[in-house]
Amino acid sequence: MEKTIPGEKFDLGVCYYPEQWPEAMWADDYRRMREIGFTIVRMGEFAWNFFEPEEGVFTFDLFDRAIDLAHEHGLQVILGTPTATPPAWMTYKYPEILNATFEGVQYQHGLRRHYNYSSPIYRDYCAKITEAMATHYANHPGVVGWQIDNELNCEVNVFYAEADHKAFRTWVQEKYGSLDALNQAWGTVFWNQSYSDWEQVHLPRPAPTKSANPHQALDEKRFISDNTISFARLQSDILRQLAPAQWITTNGMFGHLDSHALTDELLDFFSYDSYPNFTTIWNDADRRDPLMDRSYSNQLTKIRSISPTFCVMEQQSGPGGWVNTMGQSAPKPGQMRLWTYQSVAHGADMLLYFRWRTATFGTEIYWHGINDYHNRPNRRVAEATTISRELGKIGELIAGSRFTAEVAILHDYDNEWDGEFDIWHGPLTKESEYSWGKALQFSHIPYNYLYVQEKTTLGDLSRYKVLIYPHPAIMSEETAELLKQYVAGGGKLIFGARSGYKDQRGHCRMTPFPGLVAELCGITMEDFTLVLNEATTPHMRWIDGGDEASTPARLFNDILHPENDNVQTLALFDGDYYAGKPALTRNPYGSGEAYYFGAAFSREIADGLIRRLGLAPATTGWAELPPEVEVAIRVKQDRRFAFILNYTGKPVKANLLQELEDLLEGEQVSVGELEIAPYGVKVFAL
Ligand code: GLA
């Protein structure tokens, strides 16, 4: 079942913390929210002490009043379960609920997310608070849905409390059944690691070097993901049972969590927290023409693979920063609106700003919301009002429509998690996804992510003309078979270096590289090498390239050997001891083609492939756009909506080839030059 926002309507709102403000301010806050046009607020997610001030004593007075008043003002309420912030009385009494570092040092009270998911005591407390809140608010007409916890696996996504080691032991026991099977899977014969008693089995622990058993390290991530889901399930089961009329979601996409399984199994839809200004501090300075805030489109693309329509539970509205870290520059006038439409263009049908007013105390005194401390009108309130008016006009029209794309990047959790540890393939995937995302973005070719899962079908793949699976080192027989069927049926599939050589345990296969996809690609690897020195990295040169610049074949080189006459070599290495050997090949297979590139993809190489594959911009026939803008198209029945987003602080010029209806301005725009304002947005009906 697809996990989408219920109903075809658009809700715009804001995160609100009634417990942080004098009660006398609430009515005016709600009145002004409605004045802006907000219809929804989220609250409660850090307020455990207000719901259970002491063990077993549940009180709802403050939130009853806050929710009743919101409802009276016509605001719907999303309630967060407060389990991201266990109270001091609890952690003091039961320190075993706290998380610990890899070295075993216990975290303490004083920030948030300091707990572990494994402690039966903590789980019990979480069940009780969820039960109490669900019972109390199940039939409140103002409460429409629930957010479980807050940002599962944010801030810390590894867990080393005693309870975690124990839970991991149970998990491996269930997975492997016997110590023999565990020893086999983890290859413990290597360096005499074999276990002879389950009690000896732990999560990775400190050892003489920073390394660990790689198979154990992969299982650790799988365990964390399963454990997070089982922690959330405890709450979702209670909510489903006690509050069946209200929907359930959770927010944020973080490491070591299969957010697809989490959503499929527990939630009605997924929610994301979008802070595009993180790129002003996290942008990798050495990248040429960086994507900056536009890279959040790639994030939203991943979210859309979980929920075709989703909620942005926290959309950046002001400058971000904790007191001592994450300081960011202020969003420029227009960027809050731009980022809102970035989310909407990618599938958000519900969006809440973080936050109504900047906190005057605590870690986030510099994480600015729509209102400043002084509470007087400012440019962010004005911008929110404009957005709200616009979405009031077009929200219902576009709600429920689906982003459309002919290309997808394949991704999977096993390779993500294994690649975090394995430096022979993980860094390649990061580089290649970034490059492909950028090349497709700048070419105005919308793309999706498709996460390869056990339940993935040929039908899921066949929706796309072209699939890019950059570096699937781990591959199951089933996935290899599915990919073959996709290509045989006419699909075009592109692999990068290090594909297909590991099994699901992370063991290397004793067949020539690229293992399970060798036959599909019609090649084997003659030789291979890590490429460590940027300055001496060999280039690849297109055989049909004419003047096309040769480009570095980065990070890893697989030197390819065509295994049959049908395999066409498209590019050669032009450096090192393998100069003149094939770097990129194409193998006709059934009605389709399999490509193999023996390195990580750069934007230039992705561009070259886009040209040779004949992929056309989504604007073909109706517009010509400059590279500075992104285009996204959402479709509902026979209606198509095109979003055009200018990420620069300068006006840019587009060329319309057709007369189009500008939905935000409510007017027809004629053929010819069209100026898009700095940080400007256009929404056209096609
Ligand atoms: C996250 C959290 C919020 C807040 C913001 C800003 O998204 O969910 O509670 O902390 O970051 O830091």
The pLDDT score that the predictor gives to residue 357 is: 98
Nearest atom in ligand 1 to the alpha carbon of residue 45 is: 9
Pocket test for ligand 1, best of 149, 314, 322 (most atoms within 8 A of CB): 314
Answer yes or no: is the C-beta of 150 below 6 A from any ligand 1 atom: yes
pLDDT in tens, 547-562: 888 899 999 999 999 9
What pTM does this model have? 0.98
| DSSP sequence for 382-437 | HHHHHHHHHHHHHHHHHTT-EE--SEEEEE-HHHHHHHHH-TTTHHHHHHHHHHHH
Q: How far is the CA of 497 from the centre of ligand 1 (A)?
A: 37
The SS3 of residue 65 is helix
Which of 398, 438, 463 is CA-nearest to residue 643?
398
The pLDDT value recorded for residue 295 is: 93
210 against 6, higher pLDDT:
6
Kindly state the tokens that stand for 600.
């990580």
User: How many angstroms separate the alpha carbon of residue 153 from the centre of ligand 1?
Assistant: 13
The Cα–Cα gap between 537 and 527 comes to 16
**Which of 17, 149, 273 has most ligand 1 atoms within 8 Å of its beta carbon, as the pocket-test mutant?**
273
One-letter amino acid at 171 equals W
Using most ligand atoms within 8 A of CB, pick from 250, 325, 357, 364 the residue to mutate for ligand 1: 364
Domain borders along the chain are 11-159+246-400, 407-613, 623-685
If you take atom 7 of ligand 1, which residue's CA is the nearest one? 273
Is residue 204 predicted with pLDDT exceeding 90?
A: yes
Q: Could you give phi then psi for residue 53, rounded to 5 degrees?
A: -65, -30
CA-based angle 246:251:464, to the nearest 5? 100
Is 420 among the catalytic positions? no
Catalytic one of 220, 314, 390, 433: 314
Beta bridge partners of 315: 274, 353
Both structure tokens of 336: 């809050």
How far does residue 367's CA lie from ligand 1's centre (Å)?
Answer: 9
pLDDT exceeds 60 at position 286:
no
Assess whether 19 carries a catalytic annotation: no
Dihedrals phi, psi of 466, to nearest 5 degrees = -135, 135
Q: Which of 28, 10, 664, 3 is nearest to 375 (CA)?
A: 28
Residue minimizing CA distance to atom 9 of ligand 1: 150
Cα(148) to centroid of ligand 1, in Å? 14
Question: How far is Cα 166 from Cα 158, in angstroms, rounded to an integer?
Answer: 14
Amino acid letter for position 634: R
592-622 confidence digits (pLDDT tens): 999 999 999 999 999 999 999 999 999 999 9
Give the span between the Cα atoms of 438 and 290, in whole angstroms. Answer: 9
- Tokens linked to 211: 């390394």
Q: What is the pLDDT of residue 546?
A: 85
- Cα separation, 39 vs 37, whole angstroms: 6
Is 3.20.20.70 the CATH classification of the domain at 623-685? no
Ligand 1 pocket test: which of 151, 316, 351 has the largest number of ligand atoms within 8 Å of its C-beta?
151
Count CA atoms within 13 Å of residue 265 on its CB side: 17
Give Cβ neighbours of residue 564 (< 8 Å, ≥ 6 apart).
Answer: 522, 587
The active-site residue out of 45, 151, 390, 416 is 151
Q: Which tens digit of pLDDT belongs to each residue from 467-522? A: 999 999 999 999 999 999 999 999 999 999 999 999 999 999 999 999 999 999 99
Q: Does 151 sit in the ligand 1 pocket, CB within 6 Å? A: yes
Q: What is the dihedral of CA 677, 681, 683, 686, to 10 degrees?
A: 60
Task: Decide: 219 in ligand 1 pocket, CB within 6 A.
Answer: no
Task: Give the confidence band of 284 by pLDDT, cuts at 50, 70, 90.
Answer: low
User: Given the structure tokens 């429509």, which residue do they identify?
Assistant: 401
Alpha carbon 273 to its chain's center? 10
pLDDT of residue 1: 85
Q: Is the pLDDT of residue 287 over 80?
A: no
Does the Cβ of 354 fall within 6 Å of ligand 1?
Answer: yes
Give the integer Cα–Cα distance in Å for 103 and 30. 47
Fold designation for 11-159+246-400 = TIM Barrel (3.20.20)
In the chain the first and final C-alpha atoms are separated, in Å, by 29
Quick check: 288 pLDDT over 80?
no
Is pLDDT at 283 greater than 80 in this prediction? no
- Ligand 1 centroid–CA 320 distance in Å is 9
Instruction: Give the phi and the psi of residue 289 in degrees, each rounded to 5.
Output: 25, 65
Could you tell me which of 306, 350, 394 has the C-alpha nearest to residue 11? Answer: 350
What pLDDT is attached to residue 665?
Answer: 97
Bridge partners (DSSP) listed for residue 449: 409
Where b means 16+ CB within 10 Å and e means fewer, 299-333 reads bbbbbbbbbbbbbbbbbbbbbbbeeeebebeebee
Hunting for tokens 């073959």 — which residue is that?
Answer: 484
Question: What is the spatial distance between Cα 325 and Cα 614, in angstroms, rounded to a whole number?
Answer: 46
Strand partners for 586: 568, 595
pLDDT at 363 over 60: yes
The pLDDT tens digits for 444-470 are 999 999 999 999 999 999 999 999 999
CATH of 407-613, one of 3.40.50.880, 3.30.70.100, 3.40.50.2000, 3.90.1330.10: 3.40.50.880
Pairing between β-strand 348-354 and β-strand 539-542 as defined by DSSP bridges: unpaired
Question: Residue 282: pLDDT above 80?
Answer: no
Position of tokens 């090649």?
Answer: 523
Measured in Å, residue 154 CA sits from the centre of ligand 1 at: 9
Q: For residue 366, how far is its CA from the centre of ligand 1 (angstroms)?
A: 12
Cα 491 from Cα 464, distance rounded (Å):
7
pLDDT by residue (tens digit) across 121-172?
A: 999 999 999 999 999 999 999 999 999 999 999 999 999 999 999 999 999 9
Grouping H, G, I as helix, E, B as strand and the rest as coil, residue 603 is helix
pLDDT for 281 equals: 81
pLDDT in tens, 241-279: 999 999 999 999 999 999 999 999 999 999 999 999 998
Structure tokens, 69: 């008043």
Per-residue pLDDT, 280? 84
Report the pLDDT averaged over residues 55-78.
98
